[in-house]
Amino acid sequence: MVFTGLGVLSPVGSDPAAFYAALLAGVSGVRPIAAFAVPTLPCRLAGEVQGYDGKKFLPAGNRDARKGLNKMARTVQFGFTTAVKAWEDAGGPLKGQIDPFRFGVEYGCVMVATETEDLAAGAKATTTGRPHSVDYAAWGTTGLGLVPPQWMLKYLPNMPACHASIYADAQGPNNTITAGDAASLLALGEAFRIVQRDLADAFLVGGCDSRINPVSYSRHTTFQELTRRNDLGDAAVQPFGLNRSGTVLGEGAAVFVAEELTAAQKRGVRIDGELVGFASGFDRGLTGTVLASVLRSALKEAGIAPADVDHVNANAGGFARLDAWEAKAIHAVFGGTTDVYAPKAQLGATGAASGLLELAASVLALKHGTLPGTRNAAEVDPALGVRVVTAPRPVAKPYAVKINATPMGQCAAAVVRRWDS
């Protein structure tokens, strides 16, 4: 399966060229939160997409699409508008080029955080002034009527895939994976398997997430491993770092147009790279054993050895336990001789978007010939046994491996190859 189009929305760039240039230049999207006041939150940093306006991503003449943004939460807008840019990047396939019944959509997205303005008025009308107390009679008579009648449709995780499929007339297989940070890479794997079974010729494969609003961010600070080192600013996220202290939340989206090779060649479109191997698993207890097996399985399907890989694009985001778990698996498969690259230092933890957004960095690196360096990695924990690339360097081999995982142990690995026509 080959990549023929790409849309990117990130804290450091909102198109593939700007995104890649920023990664190469070491630009950080990790900044003090600007979306709302955060004086009392323990983590006050995030990877925000600042100045986003969904209408700028849509054709000026498509009034229905632009009007439809009003029915979408920020996460859904991210996923939809990025799909439009990916679709355009792939040549905006005309009817007759791709059979709509063999054109599918696969997304990684989780339950979207409700935006404050949709529930605030109803909630305020039911407060009693006492902690942990709600006036349910007031909710029934007044509060419920203050909630927009279609509010739930803005927040369902399948909405990005729905809107993308309608826009592109993709009537084939359609699914949304909700497995947290592993979601979009798992979505890519599912599309890969469907194409291999000859049930589709092309897919829009995407991931999107935004958790940077007052309610959602406050909730995540209670259970996510977020850094408290606000004083470090853009140096706070230290993948595999000796002094790593946690990550920051990020937001964004990435969508690939992925096609079966002969179908893409028949259309005569540009090919940016190829997915040649995929595997997934569940490493209960975070032992590293299952993740290592997942990596070996993906390499086996690609028909290559660890020595053939230019770099491993890691899930690492400055997590105490998760980084160590991932490093153990990487070392078990690759030893300490393969470079490891970790983009979360520049992007933050973009949740369900992270798998494909971070994979885009490797696809672009293989295509253009230069791998970005990992920010904030001057002091890598020597006990982890991984070799983190800290400065841009020429791509030396045609393959890259992307890892994504959740704190519960769901994990996936994809092997991509540079396209050489």
Domain boundaries, the chain: 2-113+155-417, 116-151
Mean pLDDT (whole number) for 15-21? 98
* Cα–Cα distance, 251 to 9 (Å, whole number): 9
Which residues are CB-neighbours of 304 under 8 A, at least 6 positions away? 276, 277, 399, 415
- Residue 169 CA from chain centroid, whole number: 24
pLDDT, tens digit, 9 for 90 and up, residues 370-419:
999 999 999 999 999 999 999 999 999 999 999 999 999 999 999 999 99
The token pair at 161 is 């895939």
pLDDT band at residue 96 using 50, 70 and 90 as cut-offs? confident
| 47-65 pLDDT per residue, tens | 999 999 999 999 988 888 8
Give the pLDDT confidence of 143-189 residue by residue, as tens digits.
999 998 888 888 999 999 999 999 999 999 999 999 999 999 999 99
Q: Tell me, what DSSP letter sits at residue 385?
A: -
Task: Write the Ramachandran bin of 64: left for phi over 0, alpha for psi from -120 to 50, otherwise beta.
Answer: alpha
In tens, the pLDDT along 224-254 reads 899 999 999 999 999 999 999 999 999 999 9
What is the pLDDT at residue 219? 85
User: Among 92-101, 128-137, 322-331, 391-400, which is the least confidently predicted range?
Assistant: 92-101
Measured CA distances, 150 to 1, 70, 147, 156 (Å):
38, 11, 8, 11
CATH architecture of 2-113+155-417: 3-Layer(aba) Sandwich (3.40)
Q: Which tokens in the block code for residue 337?
A: 């001789």
Are the C-beta atoms of 251 and 78 separated by less than 8 Å? Answer: yes
- Residues 238 and 377: beta-carbon distance below 8 Å: yes
3-state SS, one letter per residue, for 163-207: HHHHHHCCCCCEEEECCHHHHHHHHHHHHHHHHHCCCCCEEEEEE
- Is residue 94 over pLDDT 70? no
Count helices and strands in the chain by DSSP H and E runs: 13, 15
In this model, does residue 114 exceed pLDDT 90?
A: no
* Closest residue by Cα to residue 204 from 226, 172, 227, 158: 172
Nearest CA-CA partner of 83 in 21, 149, 145, 8: 8
Has residue 95 got a pLDDT over 90? Answer: no
The string of pLDDT tens digits covering residues 254-287 is 999 999 999 999 999 999 999 999 999 999 999 9
Which of these, 45, 36, 9, lies nearest to 235 by C-alpha position? 45
- What's the rounded mean pLDDT across residues 70-90? 95
Token pair listed for 309: 């890989």
Most confident of 16-25, 51-60, 135-144, 209-218: 16-25
Nearest to 388 by CA among 305, 318, 287: 318
Tell me the pLDDT tens digit for each residue of 301-340: 999 999 999 999 999 999 999 999 999 999 999 999 999 9
Q: b/e for 107-132, b at 16 or more Cβ within 10 A?
A: bbbbebbbbeebbeebeebbeeeeee
Neighbours of 419 (CB within 10 A): 18
